[in-house]
């Protein structure tokens, strides 16, 4: 393994070094190209201050408004899927998709909407819970960002920046879309405007999708499992007041989400899960209600460049239903065993109250110093119900599929468990950006955490009220050099910190009678350190960005079977327990580029990721972690100006991933997925009629050859050939 790591690391370093060395030559060869400084994208998430992508010390990707509008995206995950280092996580619920950043699942990534965190205390991580029609832009910072954005940001940060007002008193926009793979639709409508010092926006969106058609068939409900349909609706409003250098904004959002959860019947067959005759999982409710207030003051005097404060209250309601039947043999009494048939319902109500503050100061020449603080209180009120029967059965020893007959009267199962838990996080940070010279800048930061958590109420056997606390200091250091025309060289070292979720630490998980994961009050916080070097060339015509990274996460939290890797379960019904395994190591290379051939209005482009992820637990080490060694998108875009008011765009591209294997220490089964490549085509037409009216039409065909495959880190088969249409009228 060490030899393999050294080899990969050397190849990665050589590739990046070659990229860096060729950038000056590339810059000289393109010296005559037209440069446009307005093309230099500005970002705020990487350093909590406005910077050009050429000036950041981190790997940052931005999805702009135009890109969002020209995609037939069902959700935010669709917008981010082709960013190097990012992968879609589907699990069993196509309607509740998340993402992975550099191999880290969404539970280890921070999701922000306008800088305010979307909290979650499951092991799956926060959902995006916003419709793409309401998004102005998305910024993705890759690598640990806990110094600036708090706990959970080991993999990275996604900051979704929402649309605000319009440039006129009233702007109306209506739109909708269709996806043939689900037979589903999306619709949206908004009213926005501005007058004097005020601006506002009111938005409504709704989507309803049926069962997905994959390359191997429709993912529909059966007697064994549920289907793959989902539906969402969203209403949001914001109003802002600007006076001089001061801006005050109020926001309100209500998101309702529901999704079936599809489990491949093959994975529940008798050969893999003996005795299982039903597993129907339904997620009828995942709703979010939020109220927030923001204040920003800029350039208040020669020293105070910015003051920011925001506060919010957010409620997330979740319901999970499971209808489960399974017969299990008893080795001591075989052929006798038991059949358990239950209906489980988990309901939890999570309330988060948060406050963020930040002040940007120029205390010294060539220095911008940021001080900030964050206080967040999350509380979860949870109820687990289980009603059903436990019946003695006798198995047929000659049956290959564990057939059996009832051999006794059923005993009733009636469980009703209530738990209440909370966690309060206080943190303070400081960051200093020092412009050492015109071409060289250094950025250093430090954050302090104090966390207090409590299980205040429980009636479940094996659990008792308790409280615990933790504190930690973490830091980061970055450098940026722009002394070569159109080239930026960057590097950073950053630490990450993830405190156990309330589910891992205090509440536990109940998926079925045979899959109860026990909470562990002795869990330690996960900590990581990331090393990264990168380079970017951008002259407005050609762009090339490359980054190599190496990250180690210690005390990694995972669920393992009772009795393995130190998992000592205290409950007789538990099958697994959350534990700290030794470590997870991830390293790789991310590259993206494009070149605009102005004479043909043609832009070839690509994005690619080379990545390896290793798990180590109790002396067992594996890199079979469902991460493909290579993923990428390669394509070419063509633009036509059909008229002064009409523009047409077409995009032909492939998505590809190498084969991958899953055999983590905590996994129950070994899985292998073949490599895949899909061919896709997208087109867009923009018609500007009048000074303030526009029509946007999008049409695309994804997975043209109807390939059957599963996305990395996902369990649900991906959509087969899909025809997508959407339109937006603004006036």
Tokens matching residue 256: 């309702």
- pLDDT of 511 reads 65
For the chain, the straight-line distance linking the first and the last C-alpha, in angstroms and rounded, comes to 60
- pLDDT of 480 reads 97
pLDDT at 286 over 80: yes
Position 95 confidence tier, pLDDT thresholds 50, 70, 90: confident
Stronger pLDDT, 35 or 349, i.e. the higher one: 349
Q: Dump pLDDT digits (tens) for 566-605.
A: 788 887 777 788 888 878 899 999 999 999 999 999 999 9
- pLDDT of 379 reads 96
Tokens matching residue 300: 């208040």
- pLDDT of 11 reads 44
Position 401 confidence tier, pLDDT thresholds 50, 70, 90: low
Cβ atoms of 387 and 411 closer than 8 Å: no
Cβ atoms of 465 and 458 closer than 8 Å: yes
Q: Dump pLDDT digits (tens) for 221-231.
A: 987 789 999 99
Residue 13: which H helix or E strand, with range? Answer: helix 2-29
Position 271 confidence tier, pLDDT thresholds 50, 70, 90: very low
pLDDT at 147 over 70: yes
- pLDDT of 10 reads 40
Q: Which neighbouring-strand residues pair with 154?
A: none
- pLDDT of 40 reads 57
Q: For the ranges 81-95, 517-531, 571-585, which has the lowest average pLDDT?
A: 571-585
Stronger pLDDT, 208 or 565, i.e. the higher one: 208
With a pLDDT cut of 70, the percent of the chain lying above it is 90
With a pLDDT cut of 90, the percent of the chain lying above it is 63
Position 630 confidence tier, pLDDT thresholds 50, 70, 90: very high
* 299, burial (CB in 10 Å: exposed 0-12, middle 13-18, buried 19+): exposed
Q: Dump pLDDT digits (tens) for 414-458.
A: 989 999 999 999 999 999 999 999 999 999 999 999 999 999 999
Q: Dump pLDDT digits (tens) for 185-222.
A: 999 999 999 999 999 999 999 999 999 999 999 999 98
- What is the overall mean pLDDT for the chain? 88
List the one residue out of 697, 592, 665 whose CA is nearest residue 142.
Answer: 592
Q: For residue 472, what are the CA distances in angstroms to 178, 235, 338, 354, 427?
A: 49, 39, 48, 20, 9
Position 353 confidence tier, pLDDT thresholds 50, 70, 90: very high
Q: Dump pLDDT digits (tens) for 2-37.
A: 344 334 444 444 444 444 444 444 444 443 333 333
Q: For the ranges 96-105, 129-138, 286-295, which has the lowest average pLDDT?
A: 96-105
Cβ atoms of 175 and 697 closer than 8 Å: no
Q: Dump pLDDT digits (tens) for 169-189.
A: 999 999 999 999 999 999 999
- pLDDT of 664 reads 65
Q: For residue 237, what are the CA distances in angstroms to 118, 191, 642?
A: 17, 10, 37
List the one residue out of 7, 72, 6, 65 whose CA is nearest residue 41.
Answer: 65
C-alpha to C-alpha distance for 441 and 373, rounded to whole angstroms? 24
pLDDT at 281 over 90: no
- pLDDT of 668 reads 53
pLDDT at 124 over 70: yes
Among 408-417, 636-645, 721-730, top mean pLDDT goes to 721-730
C-alpha to C-alpha distance for 100 and 657, rounded to whole angstroms? 15
For the question of whether the overall pTM of this predicted structure is more than 0.75, the answer is yes
Q: For residue 202, what are the CA distances in angstroms to 161, 162, 293, 696, 721?
A: 15, 12, 16, 20, 35
Report how far Cα 515 is from the mean position of its chain's Cα atoms: 25
- pLDDT of 512 reads 59
Averaged pLDDT for residues 511-517: 67
Give the alpha-carbon dihedral of 50, 51, 56, 59, to 10 degrees. 70
- pLDDT of 34 reads 35
Residue 519: which H helix or E strand, with range? Answer: none
Backbone φ and ψ of 292, nearest 5°: -140, 155
Q: For the ranges 215-224, 291-300, 511-520, 675-684, which has the lowest average pLDDT?
A: 511-520
Q: Which residues contact 181 (CB under 8 A, 6 or more apart)?
A: 212, 213, 702, 719, 720, 721, 722
Stronger pLDDT, 46 or 39, i.e. the higher one: 46
C-alpha to C-alpha distance for 37 and 28, rounded to whole angstroms? 18
Q: For the ranges 349-353, 414-418, 444-448, 475-479, which has the lowest average pLDDT?
A: 414-418
Position 380 confidence tier, pLDDT thresholds 50, 70, 90: very high
Q: Which residues contact 666 (CB under 8 A, 6 or more apart)?
A: 558, 559, 560, 561, 564, 565, 581, 617
Position 350 confidence tier, pLDDT thresholds 50, 70, 90: very high
Helix (H, G, I), strand (E, B) or coil at 34: coil
Averaged pLDDT for residues 405-418: 84
Averaged pLDDT for residues 319-326: 88
Tokens matching residue 440: 């060289």
List the one residue out of 422, 348, 344 whose CA is nearest residue 383.
Answer: 348
- pLDDT of 347 reads 94
Among 58-62, 474-478, 622-626, 642-646, top mean pLDDT goes to 474-478
Averaged pLDDT for residues 526-540: 95
């Amino acid at each position: 393994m060490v030899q393999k790591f050294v080899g990969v690391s050397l190849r990665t370093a050589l590739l990046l070094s070659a990229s860096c060395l060729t950038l000056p030559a590339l810059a000289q060869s393109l010296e005559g190209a037209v440069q446009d400084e307005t093309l230099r994208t500005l970002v705020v998430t990487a350093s909590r201050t406005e910077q050009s992508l050429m000036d950041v010390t981190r790997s940052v990707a931005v999805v702009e408004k135009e890109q969002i509008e020209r995609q037939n995206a069902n959700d935010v995950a669709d917008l981010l899927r082709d960013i190097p280092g990012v992968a879609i996580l589907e699990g069993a619920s196509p309607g509740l998709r998340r993402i992975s950043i550099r191999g880290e699942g969404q539970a280890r990534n921070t999701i922000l909407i306008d800088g305010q965190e979307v909290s979650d205390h499951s092991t799956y991580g926060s959902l995006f819970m916003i419709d793409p029609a309401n998004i102005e832009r998305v910024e993705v910072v890759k690598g640990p960002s806990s110094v600036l954005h708090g706990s959970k940001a080991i993999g990275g940060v996604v900051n979704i920046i929402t649309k605000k007002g319009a440039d006129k008193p009233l702007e109306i926009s209506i739109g909708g879309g269709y996806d043939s793979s689900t037979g589903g639709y999306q619709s949206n409508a908004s009213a926005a405007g501005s007058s004097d010092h005020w601006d506002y926006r009111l938005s409504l969106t709704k989507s309803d999708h049926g069962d997905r058609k994959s390359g191997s068939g429709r993912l529909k409900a059966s007697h064994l499992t549920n289907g793959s349909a989902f539906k969402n609706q969203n209403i949001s409003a914001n109003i802002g007041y600007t006076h001089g250098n001061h801006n005050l904004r109020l926001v309100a959002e209500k998101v309702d989400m529901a999704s079936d959860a599809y489990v491949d019947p093959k994975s529940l067959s008798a050969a893999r899960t003996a005795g299982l005759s039903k597993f129907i999982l339904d997620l009828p409710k995942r709703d979010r209600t939020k109220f927030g207030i923001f204040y920003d003051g800029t350039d208040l005097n020669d020293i105070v460049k910015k003051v920011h404060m925001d506060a919010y209250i957010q409620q997330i309601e979740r319901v999970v239903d499971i209808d489960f039947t399974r017969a299990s043999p008893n080795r001591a009494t075989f052929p006798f065993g038991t059949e358990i048939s239950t209906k489980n319902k988990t309901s939890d109500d999570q309330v988060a109250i948060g406050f963020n503050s930040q002040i940007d100061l120029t205390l010294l020449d060539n220095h911008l110093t940021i001080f900030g603080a964050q206080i967040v209180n999350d509380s979860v009120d949870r109820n687990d119900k289980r009603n059903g029967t436990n019946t003695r059965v006798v198995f047929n020893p000659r049956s290959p599929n564990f057939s059996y007959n009832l051999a006794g009267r059923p005993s009733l199962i009636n469980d009703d468990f209530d738990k209440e838990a909370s966690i309060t996080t206080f943190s303070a940070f400081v960051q200093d950006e020092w412009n050492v010279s015109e071409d060289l800048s250094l950025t250093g930061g430090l954050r302090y955490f104090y966390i207090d958590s409590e299980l205040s109420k429980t009636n479940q056997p094996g659990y008792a009220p308790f409280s615990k606390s933790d504190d930690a200091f973490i830091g980061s250091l970055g450098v940026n050099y722009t002394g070569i025309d159109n080239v930026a060289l960057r590097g950073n070292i950053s630490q990450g910190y993830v405190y156990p979720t309330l589910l891992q630490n205090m509440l536990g998980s109940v998926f079925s009678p045979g899959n109860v994961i026990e909470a562990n009050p002795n869990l330690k916080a996960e900590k990581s350190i990331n090393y990264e070097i990168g380079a970017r060339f951008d002259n407005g015509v050609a762009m090339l960005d490359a980054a190599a990274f190496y990250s180690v996460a210690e005390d990694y939290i995972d669920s393992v079977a009772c009795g393995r890797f130190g998992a000592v379960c205290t409950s007789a019904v538990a099958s697994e327990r959350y534990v700290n395994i030794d470590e997870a190591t991830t390293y790789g290379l991310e590259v993206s580029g494009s070149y605009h051939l102005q004479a043909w209005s043609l832009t070839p482009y690509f994005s690619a990721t080379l990545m390896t992820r290793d798990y180590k637990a109790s002396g067992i080490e594996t890199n079979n972690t469902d991460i493909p060694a290579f993923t990428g998108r390669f394509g070419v875009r063509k633009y036509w100006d059909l008229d002064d008011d009409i523009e047409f765009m077409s995009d032909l591209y492939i998505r590809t991933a190498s084969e991958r294997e899953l055999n983590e220490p905590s996994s129950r089964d070994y899985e292998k997925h073949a490599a895949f490549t899909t061919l896709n085509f997208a087109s867009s037409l923009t018609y500007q009629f009048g000074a303030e009216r526009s029509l946007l039409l999008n049409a695309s065909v994804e997975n043209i050859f109807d390939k059957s495959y599963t996305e990395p880190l996902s369990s649900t088969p991906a959509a087969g050939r899909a025809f997508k249409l959407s339109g937006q009228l603004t006036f």
